A and B are shown apart, each in its own frame.
Chain A
Amino acid sequence: MVSLFSRVWKHKLLFVMRLTFSISLFCVLQSFAIGTFSQNARLSINQKNISVESALQLIEDKTDFYFMYSALVVDVRRTVDIEVTNKLVPEILDDIFKGTDIGYKIDGRLIALSKNGEISPPIQQQKSVSGKVTDSSGGPLPGVSVVLKGTTSGTITDSNGNYSLSGIPANATLQFSFVGMKTLEVSVGGKESINVTLTEEAIGLDEVVAVGYGTQRKADLTGAIGVVETKKLREAPTGNFMKALQGQVAGVYVKTDGSPSGAATVRIRGGSTMAGGFNDPLYIIDGIPTTSGIEQLNANDIESMQVLKDASAASIYGSRANNGVILITTKKGKAGVNKIEYSSYYTVQEYAKKLDVLNAYQRGFVNWRAAINDGLTPSSNIYNYQWHREANNVAVLDKILLPEFIDPSQTMRPADTKWIDEVSHPGFLQSQNLTLTNGSEKGTMLLSLNYFNNSGIIKETEYKKYTGRINSDYNFLKGKLKVGENLSFSKINNVEIPIGDVMYLSLVQQPVVPVHSVDSAWGGPAPGMTDRHNPVRLIEDNKQNVSNSARIFGSLYADLEIMKNLNFRSNFGIDYTERYYRKMDYTYASGFLISDISRTTMSQDHNLAWTWSNTLNYKYKKDKHSVELLAGMEAIKAQFVTFYGSREGYVIQDNNYMYLNSGTSKFLNGGGGAANSLLSYFGKLNYSFFDRYLLSATIRRDGSSRFGKENQYGIFPAFSLGWRLSEESFIKNNLSSISNLKLRAGWGKTGNQEINNEAIYSIYKTDTGIDPTWDFDSGTSYDISGSDGGAIPSGFRKIREGNSLLKWEEATQTNLGLDFGLFKQKITGSIDYFKKDTKNILIEPPYLAAKGEGGNQWVNGASLGVKGLELVLGYDTKFDNGIELSLSGSISSYKREITYLPEDVLTGYPGDPANGKSVLGHSDLAQFGYVADGLFQNQAEVDAYAAQPGKAVGRIRYNDIGGLDANGKYVNKPDGVVNALDRTWLGDPNPKFEYGININLAWKGFDCVAFFQGISGSKVYNDYKHLTDFTSIWQGTNFGTRTLDAWSSTNTGSTIPMLTLTDTNNESRYSSYFIENGSYLKLRNLQLGYTIPKRIMDYVKISSARVYIQGQNLFTIKDTKGSDRYTGVDPENPNFAYPIPRTLTLGVNLNF
């Protein structure tokens, strides 16, 4: 044994040194060629009385072969004489073992020695098999892989579904597999023709899914991995396929709006770090990591998508896996398949529901009402009131007279503008997709092109996306070396309309303001109104501002089978985004808002990230053991450069003219850069025993340029175990209805380093000032000479206090899961429980102001705990009448709470830590404020109530919760005063649970999908309410129609405070009045499709065709009762976001 090990060590070392030498070369970016070997190597040896051991070593030294044997079986101390010249290795071996019972078998570079007869049984008689593979409808299935079980040899069906294999053992078993189909095994058993029909399988246990740096059989997974049905992504009429994930994967929460570009916020298991920190998942597209711009990927290109939710699954991506990892593999060509796919859809979008705002008369009326309520003489810059008091002193409005013009310069006649109608129109969306694939045993290729255009429901918004992809691979060395690339290109043109402003302005701009003035200029605010823009002008004056971005995203890879089951893979990826934007600001006069500035700002950003990863992967399977080992390294570098130039003073305001060169004044420019890098090593072991006991372990060590020398590296281990109970005989034999039962348990650690690149450094910068409109000037330049004109000297200001001790933020996650399938997988499901604790959270907390400027410092401060439960259920059946029904649903829930914060930063978060109401134990997003406890109904109530500045009849009563005792200590007992001490926890915007329900029906070519999605228990801060309910908070704006139903002595049932002009009760304060139930249930998707029968399509030489009609967001159910009912339009999308439209889509998918 000793000899064996020493030999192995020595020889392996040589081999390893060769390999690592090569990898080292990689590191310095040298070209690389792995040492070649050849079974045809010829040797000359002349050694007498040499031990067999030495002889074998000699052969290993001179060739790439290596030996494997047991010293108990092979007597290697035996001496032999070898005299050979220019002989092949087998010939030499024949010589050495002549006359012994030792035989050898060459497998790649491995030569195994053993007793004759123990080597694989004598090769049996070989024969040929051929046949045809079809799908359940009888159509031929091209591209099905037909493999001799237990080997890698096999073939692929041709375009007619035919295959042919020769030279196979008679007792062989053939495996037929095709993505999306159940893998079928057929014993050859002497047959020469085997025709099979593959049946579809949504997510089969044998399906191979991508996991970190490799693939795994779904049955063998031990981590919490959500597999996405990518078909659903393709037909979702949206600019971002991640939106279609809403409610589809338990534990994945997607928040969207309706903007054409398809913005979506994705949270896996509630995120892992503090609000404001980096909670986005990491996307790995064909091995290249990215965290942004996911919408630039063409959904049609996606072959598979996996969501690695827990640490044991994600930890192999340790450095950035805290928030989960979404693995995306793009499609490839298939050997033997030559196919053209064309798909297209057209969508009409419309406003689901608009907010009700006052018209011009109503706006005048509520102003009058408020003044009457305040005991004032109603007056207005716009409205002239004719009113009187009746005998009982009740004021009655007789008439509102409008002036001929509402502005002093007499250009705006009073109007009754419905601003929301002026800024919106039906939107139109289309997608055209063409995919060409081709492939042979020598390689495959895929070419795809996509055009997507979405002009949303806000006028002039438009998003155009062109994407192209080339994925190809080439096989060399009899398939042992595979070289390929995945390359995508995207170009996006987006019209930069300031949507948030437009949405807000359509609510607040007064209806009496006309869109245009009488002199064809813009309408706009008149005196007495708030200084807010005409939203139509904002749209019209920005529609020429188109941002252009282009992105190249892809990788080159080489995969070499070093020896059987041992693969080396090198993958070099780039992610290059370039954005060019020319923004033109036109002069305008819009009411009293006037700008005499014509300006062009041209800016450009360059964002380059490259990733280079090298992995060694070894798979071994023998009897009951299956082992997979992976080792690798990865280097990532990201660089960012930006610059801009601007000029003013354009004599013509036209986008053909307004380039920098034409500007005559205010020549300005600016620019900056940033860079960061990561270097990582990782390893993984998967082991399965008896196909039922599964073990997976990963470890990753990551270094980040964002941390100082001492803490540059973090180590992220993970372990997981799985037990496939259903493979145990006590279940197999006794509980046959259980087709799958697996217990999973995992634990792991992941990291986060998403902070400022320069957080470890104390830095100073020159600052020539900012746009002071909304931000505080923080400049360092000063007109010290008092000359007022010409360049002025500048200095430096401190930007940040460095923290050289910064280290990785770490999340530890434990996951317990159960997968089950009943009645031959008719019913499937899984349950996962997780607990995630993030510590050393990187925060840049607010600080004591006395430190002055640049006192901000990143620290490893907070801890956050998230725990949750996820449940997925599915039911598939086929009725006798041919109707196929598939139901699936998921529900997930999590709770997020801060478990630790340094004392001195507690005040940076909600709460009142000085009085025992710190955010600890609450979500960092928790809402904290006053409890609005209805309205004072009469003076007696007011008088009897605690001291509350501004309290009066019709005003909100705030709960008196607590106060200070004689010792100045806070006690939870009303103290007769409503003040800041009475603030308390009001709610949590994190939903209590999220759910989705899919209903799929299919019958004779028809298919129907209904998808419902909802959240429950989310508390929404409805900012809109400041404007829809109050005439006092922003006196100069328009208000919601809710103000018409405000409390009055004759409308005492109302919950809306009495109208007033002055907010003396400070009702704009953060209170439960604005906190509403954000729960909703939406019919996200309803689709009806029809696959046109093949016999019809055959006439037009189309192999398959499907047409469908689809509606999205057809209805929404929200809370409409109770004091916390949602009073806005869409609880999913509160406040001033781009409204989510209702859509109707017509689509077609064709295969040629």
Chain B
Amino acid sequence: MKKINIKVKLFVSLAALVLTQISCTKDFLNLQPQASVSSDQLNTPENIEGMVMAAYAELGNDHYTAPNSLWPYADITSGDAYKGGDGTGDIQEFNWMELFKINTPNNPLLDTKWYRLYVGVSRCNEALKRLNAISDADFPNKKQRIAEMHFLRGHQYFLLKTFFNHIPWIDETIEGNDFGTVSNTALTSKQLWEKIAAEFQDGVTNLSENQSDAGRPNKFTAMAYLAKVKLFMAYEQDDNNNVTSINSSLLNEVVTLTNQVINSGKYALFSDFAYNFLWEKDKNSTESVFAIQRSINDGTPKGRLDWGSMLNYPMNPEYGCCGFHIGSQNLMNSFKTDPASGLPLFDTFNNSDVVEGADFTTNSFDVRIDHTLAVPGKPYKYDPTFIYQKGWSRSGVTYGHFASMKEVQHYKCACFQKVPPFMAASKNTDIIRFADVLLWKAEALIELSRQNEALPIINEIRTRALNSAAKLKDANGNALSNYKMDTYQPGVNCIWTKDYARTAMRWERRMEFAMEGIRFFDLVRWGIAADYLNKYFAVEMTKKQYLKDGQFTKGKHECFPIPQKQIDFSKGLYKQNVGW
């Protein structure tokens, strides 16, 4: 009996102990997140501007493993550049891309790029969701900002499209589990292009002609980008990435759009080609149509610098690392000109190699060579006292010495900063510069068989280039190379047929935009990538042995593979690109 008695008493005390405690619990376990905001708190006009800002910020969210300057995707894949760095194993994923044949859908850096591009999309969508919900009265900038977000989203999708071809289209209406239901083949290639065009069309319709902030697109920026999209659309491709026809009406739209941009009076070529690659000149650019705004000493821990190019500096004490993005011998040779006509050596440029030293006086060259590639013995970055040396190259045995110069900045530039062991600069990264707009127009005209109208455009580009030797002098004031270039003068130094014009235009694009992260997508647009690159490998591998495994498979390598991880995460909803 006693036992029972005591047990019961204890049982009751337990029960009471438990019951009386419950009243204390509510607040004790309710802890709010720290240093963050909830989704609802972001719907105010000020915070919506913040969401818009974050979408812009993604443009500049960079890293050398997935640069927004696109050099690994368009330069080392086009015969213009070698990966560089400390041998082929240093960021080997880029080496796989460079050789094509050994690239696979498991390339983690392509997955990284895919993800970052969708981060860009998601930031636009986060802003758009809130912009759509707020009233014009509360947010007078609503229409403008929506158009900006469409523009930025269009940019991310343009990259996704040209990289990966078949991509899931995610807009601000997709939420929750719906993400997993959007296939990358839900839209045809053409439908995707139309979606992308619509993004920029919204900008054309709704953006004002003037923006107070240099970083925001205006109506003409949208027109320029739309022109680019239409140009890509014009080269219609079949399912095997073959260009099957060229759409004239789209080409006409390109001409119309580019004309509007050109006639807006807002843009002009710099008087000197060099200014495009110098922070101090580029700041209030007339040539930059749209650019990633980089900044230094901006209150952020390390600045918002061009991290995508931070490995592309040479190995001298003033810099120190890491020798990536090295110009190919083929590119170097292509700057040679005919000493008589001053025109490119379309067929014979690669018959002999230009190497440092006397070659630069015995041959004649396009002026742009010394803006583009560093050559041992010549001034680096326009500084006659700062001579690039063979010893500055990282892995000369493998990659040679022709370092890229356009994206790097002089170490004395106020825009330059060490981020030990690496370094970077705050020079903006052009996404569209005016020269590109001009050459799109020329390209459209030529494909429309209006090559005579294209001639003055190409010559305008060449004229600016040949007048851009002022900064290319050594300490004695002598030119760095034997520059000899001229405009195309039908009947004098050429016969300006459509085919010739096309060859000239394509060559001009290479000279003008070499090492700027553009070339590979040009080759694919024109439908010549396989032929061009396999010819390149056949010759170049005799000069750089690591290229011996380079091989481009037609109908496969025109786009990168859908990252295997994404196919897996989609549970097979995503379909792999043709050939992969």
Contacts and interface: CB of A to CB of B under 8 A. Distances in A.
Interface of A: 4-5, 8-9, 12-13, 15-17, 19-21, 23-24, 27-28, 68-70, 72, 112, 374-376, 379-381, 407-409, 527-531, 533, 566, 585, 589, 592-597, 616, 618, 620, 622, 625, 627, 629, 631-633, 635, 637, 666, 668, 670, 672-679, 681, 683, 703-705, 712, 757-758, 761-766, 768-773, 775-799, 846-855, 903-904, 906-907, 913-914, 949-950, 979-980, 1032-1036, 1061-1064, 1066, 1068
Contacts of B65: 776
A531 B91 CA distance: 13
Contact of A683 (B1, B14, B571): B14
B123 A853 contact: yes
Nearest to B291: A786
A674 B34 contact: yes
Nearest to A683: B14
Contacts of A1032: 87-89
A688 to B, nearest CB: 14
Nearest to B306: A772
B357 interface: no
Given A594-B320, A618-B10, A786-B293, A855 B179 contact: yes
A531 B321 contact: yes
B470 interface: no
Given A27-B24, A776-B61, A796-B54, A849 B38 contact: no
Contacts of A798: 122, 126
Contacts of B123: 797, 852-853
A781 B53 contact: yes
A17 B415 CA distance: 74
B52 interface: yes
Contact of A620 (B6, B119, B565): B6
A905 to B, nearest CB: 8
B293 A1034 contact: no
Given A527-B393, A1036-B395, A796 B51 contact: yes
Interface residues of B, number: 141
Which residue of B36, B112, B168 has the most chain A CB atoms within 10 A of its CB atom?
B36
A527 B392 contact: yes
7 nearest CB pairs, A to B: A852-B122, A786-B214, A795-B54, A1035-B87, A795-B50, A408-B391, A783-B295
B16 A20 contact: yes
B180 A904 contact: yes
A773 B422 contact: yes
B89 A763 contact: no
A872 to B, nearest CB: 36
Contacts of B13: 12, 15-16, 19-20, 616, 631
B30 A705 contact: yes
Contacts of A787: 295
B456 to A, nearest CB: 31
A1034 B90 contact: yes
A715 to B, nearest CB: 12
A219 B415 CA distance: 75
Given A788-B283, A794-B57, 16 more contacts: A9-B8, A27-B23, A27-B24, A592-B315, A666-B297, A703-B29, A765-B35, A765-B36, A779-B300, A781-B300, A785-B215, A786-B293, A850-B182, A852-B120, A904-B569, A1034-B87
A783 B216 contact: no
Contact of A776 (B5, B24, B53, B116): B116
Contacts of B295: 782-783, 787-789, 792
A797 B54 contact: yes
A784 B415 contact: no
B344 to A, nearest CB: 32
A587 B341 CA distance: 53
A780 B37 contact: no
A573 to B, nearest CB: 17
Nearest to A979: B104
A1068 B30 CA distance: 50
Given A781-B53, A850-B182, A903-B571, A790 B298 contact: yes
B86 A1035 contact: yes
B304 A950 contact: no
A977 B31 CA distance: 56
A765 B56 contact: no
Contacts of A533: 421
A1036 B87 contact: yes
A849 B2 contact: no
Nearest to A709: B30
A71 to B, nearest CB: 8
7 contacts: A12-B12, A72-B1, A631-B17, A763-B38, A788-B293, A795-B47, A1035-B86
A761 B300 contact: no
A1143 B247 CA distance: 79
A776 B39 CA distance: 24
Contacts of B460: none
Contacts of A17: 16
Contact of A20 (B20, B317, B566): B20
A23 B568 contact: no
A783 B8 contact: no
A704 B42 CA distance: 28
B215 A950 contact: no
B367 to A, nearest CB: 28
B53 A795 contact: yes
Contacts of A376: 545
Given A770-B301, A849-B118, A950-B549, A679 B29 contact: yes
Nearest to A791: B299
B92 A1068 contact: yes
A855 B170 CA distance: 13
B317 to A, nearest CB: 6
A772 B63 contact: yes
B137 interface: no
Contacts of B1: 4, 69-70, 72
A184 B548 CA distance: 85
Contact of B53 (A13, A594, A618, A782): A782
B34 A530 contact: no
Contacts of A597: 418, 420
B89 A1068 contact: yes
Contacts of A772: 62-63, 302, 305, 307, 310, 419, 424
A154 to B, nearest CB: 25
A614 to B, nearest CB: 8
A1020 to B, nearest CB: 22
A710 B420 CA distance: 49
Given A527-B393, A596-B418, A1035-B395, A764 B36 contact: yes
A677 B53 contact: no
B63 A593 contact: no
Contacts of A13: 12, 16
Contacts of B296: 788-789
A772 B426 CA distance: 14
A1063 B99 CA distance: 13
Nearest to A615: B17
A592 B316 contact: yes
Contacts of A70: 1-2
Contacts of A595: 418, 420-421
A610 to B, nearest CB: 12
B31 A1036 contact: no
B106 interface: yes
A792 B42 contact: no
